[in-house]
Protein backbone atom coordinates (compact mmCIF):
# COMPACT_ATOMS: atom_id res chain seq x y z
CA UNK A 1 0.00 0.00 0.00
CA UNK A 2 1.48 3.47 -0.91
CA UNK A 3 2.47 5.68 2.05
CA UNK A 4 -0.29 8.20 1.25
CA UNK A 5 -2.88 5.42 1.31
CA UNK A 6 -1.50 4.16 4.63
CA UNK A 7 -1.76 7.67 6.04
CA UNK A 8 -5.37 7.99 4.91
CA UNK A 9 -6.12 4.55 6.35
CA UNK A 10 -4.58 5.51 9.72
CA UNK A 11 -6.49 8.79 9.77
CA UNK A 12 -9.75 7.03 8.92
CA UNK A 13 -9.14 4.49 11.66
CA UNK A 14 -8.34 7.21 14.16
CA UNK A 15 -11.47 9.13 13.23
CA UNK A 16 -13.59 5.98 13.57
CA UNK A 17 -12.13 5.35 17.01
CA UNK A 18 -12.91 8.93 18.08
CA UNK A 19 -16.48 8.65 16.83
CA UNK A 20 -17.00 5.35 18.63
CA UNK A 21 -15.57 6.75 21.84
CA UNK A 22 -17.82 9.79 21.55
CA UNK A 23 -20.87 7.62 20.99
CA UNK A 24 -21.50 9.02 17.52
CA UNK A 25 -21.15 5.64 15.81
CA UNK A 26 -23.18 2.93 17.49
CA UNK A 27 -23.91 0.23 14.89
CA UNK A 28 -22.75 -3.40 14.97
CA UNK A 29 -19.55 -2.63 13.11
CA UNK A 30 -18.74 0.15 15.57
CA UNK A 31 -19.44 -2.13 18.50
CA UNK A 32 -16.77 -4.49 17.21
CA UNK A 33 -14.18 -1.83 18.11
CA UNK A 34 -15.46 -1.24 21.62
CA UNK A 35 -13.34 -2.24 24.60
CA UNK A 36 -14.98 -4.72 26.98
CA UNK A 37 -14.30 -4.64 30.71
CA UNK A 38 -11.18 -6.80 30.47
CA UNK A 39 -9.58 -4.28 28.10
CA UNK A 40 -9.14 -6.52 25.04
CA UNK A 41 -10.77 -5.56 21.70
CA UNK A 42 -13.82 -7.59 20.71
CA UNK A 43 -13.18 -9.72 17.62
CA UNK A 44 -15.34 -8.56 14.72
CA UNK A 45 -17.89 -11.13 13.57
CA UNK A 46 -18.61 -12.05 9.96
CA UNK A 47 -21.70 -9.87 10.21
CA UNK A 48 -19.62 -6.93 11.48
CA UNK A 49 -17.17 -7.29 8.63
CA UNK A 50 -19.91 -7.63 6.02
CA UNK A 51 -21.75 -4.57 7.34
CA UNK A 52 -18.68 -2.46 6.67
CA UNK A 53 -19.31 -3.22 2.99
CA UNK A 54 -23.07 -2.61 3.25
CA UNK A 55 -23.75 -6.36 3.10
CA UNK A 56 -25.16 -8.97 5.46
CA UNK A 57 -23.69 -12.35 6.32
CA UNK A 58 -26.20 -14.98 7.35
CA UNK A 59 -26.80 -18.62 8.13
CA UNK A 60 -29.66 -21.00 7.65
CA UNK A 61 -30.88 -22.93 10.66
CA UNK A 62 -33.51 -25.52 11.48
CA UNK A 63 -35.68 -26.17 14.49
CA UNK A 64 -34.21 -29.47 15.75
CA UNK A 65 -30.77 -27.96 16.35
CA UNK A 66 -32.06 -25.03 18.38
CA UNK A 67 -31.72 -27.11 21.56
CA UNK A 68 -27.93 -27.18 21.03
CA UNK A 69 -26.80 -24.21 23.12
CA UNK A 70 -23.20 -24.24 21.87
CA UNK A 71 -24.56 -24.11 18.33
CA UNK A 72 -27.09 -21.34 18.99
CA UNK A 73 -24.45 -19.23 20.76
CA UNK A 74 -22.42 -19.01 17.55
CA UNK A 75 -25.57 -18.66 15.42
CA UNK A 76 -26.74 -15.69 17.47
CA UNK A 77 -23.34 -14.02 17.61
CA UNK A 78 -21.66 -14.40 14.23
CA UNK A 79 -24.51 -13.63 11.80
CA UNK A 80 -27.04 -10.85 11.17
CA UNK A 81 -29.42 -12.73 8.85
CA UNK A 82 -31.19 -16.02 9.49
CA UNK A 83 -33.01 -18.30 7.03
CA UNK A 84 -35.34 -21.06 8.29
CA UNK A 85 -34.29 -24.23 6.51
CA UNK A 86 -37.71 -25.90 6.72
CA UNK A 87 -40.01 -24.16 9.17
CA UNK A 88 -41.69 -21.83 6.66
CA UNK A 89 -42.18 -24.36 3.85
CA UNK A 90 -45.68 -25.39 2.82
CA UNK A 91 -45.71 -28.81 4.53
CA UNK A 92 -44.89 -27.12 7.85
CA UNK A 93 -47.13 -24.08 7.61
CA UNK A 94 -50.31 -25.52 6.02
CA UNK A 95 -50.31 -29.24 6.82
CA UNK A 96 -54.07 -29.40 6.20
CA UNK A 97 -55.92 -27.25 3.72
CA UNK A 98 -56.82 -23.95 5.33
CA UNK A 99 -55.28 -24.98 8.68
CA UNK A 100 -52.07 -23.09 9.36
CA UNK A 101 -49.34 -23.89 11.87
CA UNK A 102 -46.75 -21.20 12.56
CA UNK A 103 -44.93 -23.02 15.36
CA UNK A 104 -41.68 -23.84 13.57
CA UNK A 105 -41.43 -20.59 11.62
CA UNK A 106 -42.26 -18.45 14.62
CA UNK A 107 -39.60 -20.15 16.72
CA UNK A 108 -36.90 -19.14 14.26
CA UNK A 109 -38.32 -15.65 13.69
CA UNK A 110 -38.45 -15.12 17.46
CA UNK A 111 -34.89 -16.40 17.86
CA UNK A 112 -33.68 -14.00 15.18
CA UNK A 113 -35.48 -11.09 16.79
CA UNK A 114 -33.96 -11.90 20.18
CA UNK A 115 -30.50 -11.60 18.60
CA UNK A 116 -31.37 -8.47 16.57
CA UNK A 117 -31.08 -10.44 13.33
CA UNK A 118 -33.17 -10.18 10.19
CA UNK A 119 -34.94 -13.10 8.49
CA UNK A 120 -34.77 -14.25 4.86
CA UNK A 121 -38.00 -16.23 4.70
CA UNK A 122 -37.91 -19.45 2.68
CA UNK A 123 -40.02 -20.46 0.72
CA UNK A 124 -43.59 -19.89 -0.50
CA UNK A 125 -43.83 -21.85 -3.78
CA UNK A 126 -41.74 -24.96 -4.39
CA UNK A 127 -42.33 -28.33 -6.00
CA UNK A 128 -40.89 -30.21 -3.02
CA UNK A 129 -41.98 -30.72 0.62
CA UNK A 130 -45.62 -30.12 -0.21
CA UNK A 131 -48.39 -31.62 1.97
CA UNK A 132 -50.20 -34.71 0.71
CA UNK A 133 -53.54 -32.92 0.52
CA UNK A 134 -52.05 -30.66 -2.15
CA UNK A 135 -50.20 -33.23 -4.24
CA UNK A 136 -52.72 -36.08 -4.28
CA UNK A 137 -55.70 -34.16 -5.64
CA UNK A 138 -56.45 -33.27 -9.25
CA UNK A 139 -57.04 -29.50 -9.18
CA UNK A 140 -58.68 -27.30 -11.77
CA UNK A 141 -56.78 -24.14 -12.62
CA UNK A 142 -59.28 -21.97 -10.73
CA UNK A 143 -59.11 -24.21 -7.66
CA UNK A 144 -55.33 -24.32 -7.51
CA UNK A 145 -54.99 -20.61 -8.16
CA UNK A 146 -57.25 -19.92 -5.17
CA UNK A 147 -55.30 -22.38 -2.99
CA UNK A 148 -51.97 -20.86 -4.01
CA UNK A 149 -53.12 -17.29 -3.46
CA UNK A 150 -54.57 -18.11 -0.06
CA UNK A 151 -51.41 -19.90 1.06
CA UNK A 152 -49.08 -17.12 -0.07
CA UNK A 153 -51.10 -14.26 1.31
CA UNK A 154 -51.93 -15.93 4.61
CA UNK A 155 -48.28 -16.76 5.30
CA UNK A 156 -46.86 -13.46 4.11
CA UNK A 157 -49.41 -11.54 6.18
CA UNK A 158 -48.54 -13.59 9.25
CA UNK A 159 -44.88 -12.59 8.91
CA UNK A 160 -45.53 -9.08 7.66
CA UNK A 161 -43.03 -6.72 9.22
CA UNK A 162 -41.05 -9.64 10.67
CA UNK A 163 -39.00 -10.68 7.64
CA UNK A 164 -36.57 -8.88 5.37
CA UNK A 165 -37.23 -10.93 2.23
CA UNK A 166 -39.07 -13.94 0.79
CA UNK A 167 -37.92 -16.59 -1.61
CA UNK A 168 -41.29 -16.47 -3.34
CA UNK A 169 -40.73 -19.10 -6.03
CA UNK A 170 -37.99 -21.68 -5.58
CA UNK A 171 -36.38 -23.80 -8.32
CA UNK A 172 -38.74 -23.05 -11.18
CA UNK A 173 -36.43 -24.15 -14.04
CA UNK A 174 -34.72 -27.30 -15.25
CA UNK A 175 -30.99 -27.41 -16.02
CA UNK A 176 -31.61 -26.78 -19.73
CA UNK A 177 -33.59 -23.62 -19.03
CA UNK A 178 -37.04 -25.11 -19.58
CA UNK A 179 -39.72 -24.71 -16.95
CA UNK A 180 -39.80 -27.41 -14.31
CA UNK A 181 -43.10 -29.24 -14.69
CA UNK A 182 -44.38 -28.73 -11.17
CA UNK A 183 -47.99 -29.04 -10.07
CA UNK A 184 -48.19 -25.25 -10.37
CA UNK A 185 -46.69 -25.03 -13.86
CA UNK A 186 -48.71 -27.92 -15.26
CA UNK A 187 -51.99 -26.61 -13.88
CA UNK A 188 -51.53 -22.83 -14.10
CA UNK A 189 -48.85 -22.32 -16.74
CA UNK A 190 -45.79 -20.07 -16.37
CA UNK A 191 -47.93 -17.15 -15.23
CA UNK A 192 -48.05 -18.63 -11.73
CA UNK A 193 -44.68 -16.99 -11.02
CA UNK A 194 -45.88 -13.46 -11.72
CA UNK A 195 -49.09 -14.14 -9.80
CA UNK A 196 -47.14 -15.40 -6.78
CA UNK A 197 -44.98 -12.27 -6.74
CA UNK A 198 -47.99 -9.98 -7.02
CA UNK A 199 -49.88 -11.78 -4.25
CA UNK A 200 -46.85 -11.69 -1.95
CA UNK A 201 -46.37 -7.98 -2.59
CA UNK A 202 -50.00 -7.27 -1.82
CA UNK A 203 -49.63 -9.05 1.52
CA UNK A 204 -46.38 -7.28 2.52
CA UNK A 205 -45.35 -4.39 0.27
CA UNK A 206 -42.10 -3.85 2.20
CA UNK A 207 -40.66 -7.36 1.95
CA UNK A 208 -38.02 -7.96 -0.74
CA UNK A 209 -39.26 -10.62 -3.17
CA UNK A 210 -36.87 -13.12 -4.78
CA UNK A 211 -36.76 -15.98 -7.23
CA UNK A 212 -34.27 -18.56 -5.98
CA UNK A 213 -32.49 -21.55 -7.58
CA UNK A 214 -29.38 -23.71 -7.67
CA UNK A 215 -26.89 -24.11 -10.53
CA UNK A 216 -27.50 -20.55 -11.71
CA UNK A 217 -24.22 -19.17 -10.38
CA UNK A 218 -22.51 -19.33 -13.78
CA UNK A 219 -23.75 -17.90 -17.06
CA UNK A 220 -25.50 -20.76 -18.86
CA UNK A 221 -28.88 -22.10 -20.01
CA UNK A 222 -30.49 -22.12 -16.57
CA UNK A 223 -29.29 -18.68 -15.48
CA UNK A 224 -30.14 -17.39 -18.98
CA UNK A 225 -33.72 -18.55 -18.40
CA UNK A 226 -33.88 -16.58 -15.16
CA UNK A 227 -32.38 -13.55 -16.86
CA UNK A 228 -35.01 -13.68 -19.61
CA UNK A 229 -37.83 -14.20 -17.11
CA UNK A 230 -36.59 -11.40 -14.86
CA UNK A 231 -36.35 -9.01 -17.79
CA UNK A 232 -39.90 -9.95 -18.81
CA UNK A 233 -41.26 -9.53 -15.27
CA UNK A 234 -39.58 -6.15 -14.88
CA UNK A 235 -41.05 -5.01 -18.20
CA UNK A 236 -44.49 -6.07 -16.95
CA UNK A 237 -43.99 -4.16 -13.67
CA UNK A 238 -44.23 -7.36 -11.65
CA UNK A 239 -42.84 -6.79 -8.14
CA UNK A 240 -39.58 -8.72 -8.34
CA UNK A 241 -36.72 -7.37 -6.22
CA UNK A 242 -33.97 -9.93 -6.57
CA UNK A 243 -32.51 -13.21 -7.74
CA UNK A 244 -31.18 -15.69 -5.19
CA UNK A 245 -28.27 -17.85 -6.32
CA UNK A 246 -28.17 -20.81 -3.98
CA UNK A 247 -24.50 -21.63 -4.62
CA UNK A 248 -24.52 -25.27 -3.55
CA UNK A 249 -21.10 -26.03 -5.02
CA UNK A 250 -18.96 -29.18 -5.19
CA UNK A 251 -15.19 -29.24 -5.59
CA UNK A 252 -15.34 -32.10 -8.10
CA UNK A 253 -17.48 -30.08 -10.53
CA UNK A 254 -15.43 -26.90 -10.70
CA UNK A 255 -15.89 -23.30 -9.66
CA UNK A 256 -18.40 -21.05 -11.52
CA UNK A 257 -15.85 -18.62 -12.91
CA UNK A 258 -18.51 -16.37 -14.49
CA UNK A 259 -20.23 -15.75 -11.15
CA UNK A 260 -19.30 -12.08 -10.90
CA UNK A 261 -20.38 -11.36 -14.48
CA UNK A 262 -23.63 -13.18 -13.85
CA UNK A 263 -24.33 -11.09 -10.75
CA UNK A 264 -23.61 -7.94 -12.75
CA UNK A 265 -26.05 -8.71 -15.54
CA UNK A 266 -28.91 -9.18 -13.08
CA UNK A 267 -27.97 -5.92 -11.36
CA UNK A 268 -28.20 -4.15 -14.71
CA UNK A 269 -31.87 -5.16 -14.77
CA UNK A 270 -32.34 -3.18 -11.57
CA UNK A 271 -32.37 -6.27 -9.37
CA UNK A 272 -30.61 -7.18 -6.16
CA UNK A 273 -28.82 -10.49 -5.99
CA UNK A 274 -27.79 -12.64 -3.04
CA UNK A 275 -25.91 -15.88 -2.47
CA UNK A 276 -28.62 -17.63 -0.51
CA UNK A 277 -27.69 -21.23 0.38
CA UNK A 278 -23.93 -21.44 0.13
CA UNK A 279 -21.99 -24.61 0.82
CA UNK A 280 -18.99 -26.23 -0.87
CA UNK A 281 -19.03 -30.00 -0.55
CA UNK A 282 -16.25 -32.45 -1.32
CA UNK A 283 -15.69 -36.16 -1.71
CA UNK A 284 -14.79 -37.56 1.69
CA UNK A 285 -12.45 -37.87 3.43
CA UNK A 286 -11.57 -34.21 3.71
CA UNK A 287 -7.88 -33.48 3.26
CA UNK A 288 -5.78 -30.38 3.84
CA UNK A 289 -5.63 -29.87 0.08
CA UNK A 290 -9.40 -30.08 -0.33
CA UNK A 291 -10.02 -27.79 2.65
CA UNK A 292 -7.58 -25.26 1.17
CA UNK A 293 -9.38 -25.38 -2.18
CA UNK A 294 -12.71 -25.02 -0.39
CA UNK A 295 -11.37 -21.97 1.43
CA UNK A 296 -10.35 -20.43 -1.91
CA UNK A 297 -13.87 -20.93 -3.25
CA UNK A 298 -15.50 -19.33 -0.21
CA UNK A 299 -13.05 -16.43 -0.52
CA UNK A 300 -13.77 -16.05 -4.25
CA UNK A 301 -17.55 -16.16 -3.79
CA UNK A 302 -17.35 -13.53 -1.08
CA UNK A 303 -15.18 -11.29 -3.23
CA UNK A 304 -17.54 -11.71 -6.19
CA UNK A 305 -20.46 -10.50 -4.10
CA UNK A 306 -18.47 -7.57 -2.74
CA UNK A 307 -17.46 -6.59 -6.28
CA UNK A 308 -21.08 -6.12 -7.39
CA UNK A 309 -22.88 -3.32 -5.62
CA UNK A 310 -26.32 -4.93 -5.77
CA UNK A 311 -25.18 -8.26 -4.37
CA UNK A 312 -26.63 -7.55 -0.95
CA UNK A 313 -25.39 -10.47 1.11
CA UNK A 314 -24.39 -14.07 1.63
CA UNK A 315 -26.13 -16.86 3.54
CA UNK A 316 -24.42 -20.19 4.22
CA UNK A 317 -26.70 -23.23 4.37
CA UNK A 318 -26.20 -23.67 8.07
CA UNK A 319 -22.76 -22.83 9.27
CA UNK A 320 -21.50 -26.15 10.63
CA UNK A 321 -20.90 -29.61 9.19
CA UNK A 322 -22.66 -30.94 12.29
CA UNK A 323 -26.03 -29.97 10.82
CA UNK A 324 -25.31 -30.00 7.08
CA UNK A 325 -27.86 -31.52 4.73
CA UNK A 326 -25.15 -32.79 2.38
CA UNK A 327 -24.27 -36.26 3.78
CA UNK A 328 -27.90 -37.40 3.74
CA UNK A 329 -28.46 -36.31 0.13
CA UNK A 330 -25.00 -36.96 -1.34
CA UNK A 331 -23.58 -40.15 0.24
CA UNK A 332 -19.80 -40.06 0.47
CA UNK A 333 -19.71 -36.25 0.33
CA UNK A 334 -19.66 -33.61 3.03
CA UNK A 335 -17.40 -31.23 5.01
CA UNK A 336 -19.18 -28.44 3.13
CA UNK A 337 -19.32 -25.60 5.66
CA UNK A 338 -16.93 -23.13 7.34
CA UNK A 339 -17.23 -24.75 10.79
CA UNK A 340 -16.58 -28.45 11.40
CA UNK A 341 -18.75 -30.93 13.31
CA UNK A 342 -17.18 -29.82 16.61
CA UNK A 343 -18.14 -26.19 15.83
CA UNK A 344 -14.49 -25.28 15.23
CA UNK A 345 -13.68 -22.84 12.41
CA UNK A 346 -12.10 -24.35 9.29
CA UNK A 347 -9.81 -22.66 6.73
CA UNK A 348 -12.94 -21.51 4.88
CA UNK A 349 -13.94 -19.38 7.85
CA UNK A 350 -10.64 -17.53 7.85
CA UNK A 351 -10.85 -17.12 4.07
CA UNK A 352 -14.25 -15.45 4.38
CA UNK A 353 -12.86 -13.12 7.06
CA UNK A 354 -9.93 -12.22 4.82
CA UNK A 355 -12.24 -11.45 1.89
CA UNK A 356 -14.47 -9.29 4.06
CA UNK A 357 -11.50 -7.50 5.60
- pLDDT tens for residues 48-100? 999 999 999 999 999 999 999 999 999 999 999 999 999 999 999 999 999 99
Cα end-to-end span (Å), the chain = 15
- What pLDDT does residue 42 have? 85
**For the chain, what is the mean pLDDT?**
91
| 277 flagged as catalytic | yes
Q: What is the pLDDT of residues 303-329, one digit of tens each?
A: 999 999 999 999 999 999 999 999 999
- What pLDDT does residue 210 have? 99
Contacts 24+ apart (CB under 8 A), 328-334: 330/250, 330/281, 332/283, 332/284, 333/250, 333/281, 333/282, 333/283, 333/284, 334/281, 334/282, 334/284, 334/286
Indicate if the pLDDT at residue 175 is higher than 70: yes
- The answer to whether 284 touches 312, Cβ cutoff 8 Å, is no
- What pLDDT does residue 40 have? 57
Position with higher pLDDT, 261 vs 29: 261
With cut-offs at 50, 70 and 90, classify the pLDDT of residue 7. Answer: very low
Q: What is the helix (H) or strand (E) element at residue 124, kind and residue range?
A: strand 118-125
What mean pLDDT is predicted for residues 223-248?
Answer: 98
What mean pLDDT is predicted for residues 281-308?
Answer: 98
* Identified catalytic residue from 94, 155, 217, 277: 277
What mean pLDDT is predicted for residues 202-209?
Answer: 98
Count H helices, E strands: the chain? 15, 10
- What pLDDT does residue 41 have? 65
- What pLDDT does residue 17 have? 38
Q: Are strands 272-283 and 333-334 parallel, antiparallel or unpaired?
A: antiparallel
pTM of the shown model: 0.89
* Identified catalytic residue from 78, 94, 155, 171: 171
Q: What is the pLDDT of residues 99-157, one digit of tens each?
A: 999 999 999 999 999 999 999 999 999 999 999 999 999 999 999 999 999 999 999 99
Amino acid sequence: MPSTARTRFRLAGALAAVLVAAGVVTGPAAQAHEQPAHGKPTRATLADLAQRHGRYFGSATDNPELTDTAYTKILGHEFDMITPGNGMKWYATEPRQGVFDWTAGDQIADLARSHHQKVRAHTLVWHSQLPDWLTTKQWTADELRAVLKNHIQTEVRHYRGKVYAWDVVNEAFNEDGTYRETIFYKTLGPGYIADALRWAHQADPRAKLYLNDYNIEAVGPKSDAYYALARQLKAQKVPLDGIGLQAHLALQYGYPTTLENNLRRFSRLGLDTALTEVDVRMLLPATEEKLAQQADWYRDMTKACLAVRRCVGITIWDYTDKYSWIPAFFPGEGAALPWDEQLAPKPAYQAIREALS
